[in-house]
């Protein structure tokens, strides 16, 4: 999956729910449609909730991957 070009990175490790989703949403709103955001999230509720909520907002999720104790969520901004 090294062909995905990441435009922005948001490190939300240590940021609790629902602030992590709010920050993700605001970041996506500041970006142009089609641009790609990588979000770093804690294990447990954060990765579960932010993934579900980002999907519900209509963005395209390209990849969800566990790294060393945290998660990478890669999202393409929708219109």
Partner 1 sequence: MALKKYNETELLDLRTGGVLKQIQKDYFILRTRIPGGHLKAEKLKKYAILAKKYGKDYVHVSTRQGIEIPWIHIKNINSLLKDMKKFGILKGACGPRSRNLIACPGSSVCRFGFVDAEKLAMKLDKVAFGKEVPKKFKVAITGCMNSCAKPQENDLGFQAQGEPEVDLDACIHCTLCAKVCEKVCARGKGQPAIVMDKDKKPVYRKENCYFEGDCVRVCPVSAWKTKKVGFKVYIGGKVGRFPRFGTEIAEFVEEKKIPKIIEKSVEYYKEIANKGERFGEALDRTGLKKAKDKIL
Residues contributing to the site for partner 1 (CB under 8 A): 47-48, 51-52, 54-56, 61-66, 73
Min separation Cβ 62 and partner 1, Å: 8
Identify the active-site residue in 3, 10, 14, 17. 17
Active site residue 17: yes
Q: Are 32 and 77 in contact, with CB atoms under 8 Å apart?
A: yes
Q: Are 47 and 64 in contact, with CB atoms under 8 Å apart?
A: yes
19: how many CB neighbours lie within 10 A of its CB?
Answer: 11
Give 16 or 63: the residue with its C-beta nearer to partner 1: 63
List the structure tokens of 73. Answer: 């969520």
Catalytic residues: 17
């Amino acid at each position: 999956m090294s062909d995905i070009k990441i435009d922005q990175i948001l490190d939300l490790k240590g940021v609790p729910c629902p602030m992590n989703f709010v920050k993700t949403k605001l970041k996506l709103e500041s970006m142009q449609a089609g641009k790609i955001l990588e979000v770093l999230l804690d294990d447990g509720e954060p990765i579960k909730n932010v993934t579900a909520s980002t999907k519900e907002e209509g963005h395209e999720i390209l990849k969800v991957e566990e790294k060393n104790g945290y998660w990478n969520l890669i999202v393409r901004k929708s219109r």
